[in-house]
Structure 1
């Protein structure tokens, strides 16, 4: 039976007083200083059935538990979740690095994803500080990279770029800096973007074109000038 992480939304809200039975304690699959405690959790909607839940703990946290946990222990779900929360600092950083290895993230995106995995605010703050110190994460780098991606062969306005970065949690100053840096690299980028957007709407009535492009953040005066 595949184990469900204790931070998973499907089990996270289990009543803390629920009794679980420890079935296995083994070294963590990827973190030397960690251990995984497996326990069977009764399924409230299916009497007699259980789910296997994995609690990832710091070895030092586990060593301090009294009485010691073993494969005959019956403890509350809340007790094991508390131990897992005390171990958050050990696992939040690898989780952040793993997310960044897939693609670049803004600080807010990374914070949101770590929170969704059940990490505590303190562990998240520490992980973010570490990845920024090691230059694994940078909002300046993310904003410029994302701007380059969005502008690659697409008719995107400056306003739309800034709005997109804001939705990803990038502050206005950083977003403006990234868009300005891109514009320095590509001086006619927004004129070209408007031309691309106009080409995509070729054949439509002028009033429709103006309305659609204005909604996408292009300047109405520039739109009309390009149409004339």
Structure 2
């Protein structure tokens, strides 16, 4: 492969960057290498990678093949740095992190590298994430069904959580949490049983838990 004659980084228009704030996938920058034989090689890289390249284009190797390896290595480093920054704000599941990296425009190989390194360093741990997620949602008053649906949406199988579900749920505490939610609601005048049961089921409680909690509330208020 020919040596590099020149290199330039191009960024998307400001309007495209602004619109991307409402999208899952961000615009990427372009690194264009012009080779000695007159041909061009174009690379799509995340904007944060493009800014690093633009700031120091002289760091690019003059050999095109070595430049490709340099760009790949840079993407891997920046992907891992971005991953650590995201996790410093809150814990994420592996799937959430993969989606965020993909949305930034990182290559599949750099995503795989960053995720594997994070797992080895224990920055990423789906079991830890899931355990905290369940505890926190239980404190919010969520029911088991809704919690499991949200875990699955985040790429976590509840069956793989150590001690799940016995260490997180029991029927009596579920009824108590459902009752606490009902305590903040007034009793509808029309079809109170059906409406209150539907309300609790929308929060992720099973029909049997919702039924028991509503019956207790109606009996007490009657």
Instruction: Please indicate the TM-score interval, normalised by the length of the shorter structure.
Output: 0.5 to 0.7
TM-superposed deviation, 1:155:
2.5
Alpha-carbon distance in structure 2 between the residues aligned to 1:121 and 1:195: 47
Shift of 1:109: 0.3
**So what's the TM-score if we normalise by structure 1?**
0.62
CA-CA distance at 1:201 after TM superposition = 2.6
> Which structure shows the bigger proportion of residues in strand conformation?
1
Alignment partner of 1:225 is 2:212: yes
Once the two structures are superposed, the pairs formed by residues 158-177 of structure 1 within 5 Å of their partners are 158-174=144-160, 177=163
Aligned position for 1:209: 196
Compare the two structures and name the one with the higher helix fraction: 2
Specify every segment of 5 or more residues in structure 1 that has no aligned partner in the other structure, as ranges: 19-34, 39-53, 69-79
How far, CA to CA, are the matches of 1:167 and 1:222 in structure 2? 24
Contact in 2 for aligned 1:107/1:139 (Cα 8 Å): yes
**Structure 1 segments of 4 or more deviating over 4 A?**
8-11, 13-18, 56-59, 80-83, 175-179
What's the counterpart of residue 141 of structure 2? 155
Unaligned runs of 5+ in 2: 1-9, 21-25, 35-50
Counterpart CA distance in 1 for 2:29 and 2:74 is 19
CA distance in 1, matches of 2:121, 2:58: 23
> Shift of the alpha carbon at 1:181?
3.1
Match of 1:126 in 2: 113
Q: Which residue number corresponds to residue 31 of structure 1?
A: none
What CA RMSD, in Å, does the superposition of the two structures yield over aligned residues? Answer: 3.8
C-alpha displacement at 1:110, in angstroms?
0.3
Residue in structure 2 matching 1:195, options 179, 188, 192: 179
Cα distance in 2 for partners of 1:58, 1:168 equals 41
Measure how far apart 1:179 and its partner are. 4.4
The alpha-carbon deviation at position 11 of structure 1 amounts to 4.7
Distance 1:4 1:192, change over 3 A: farther
Say if 1:58 and 1:90, in contact at 8 Å, map to a contact too. no
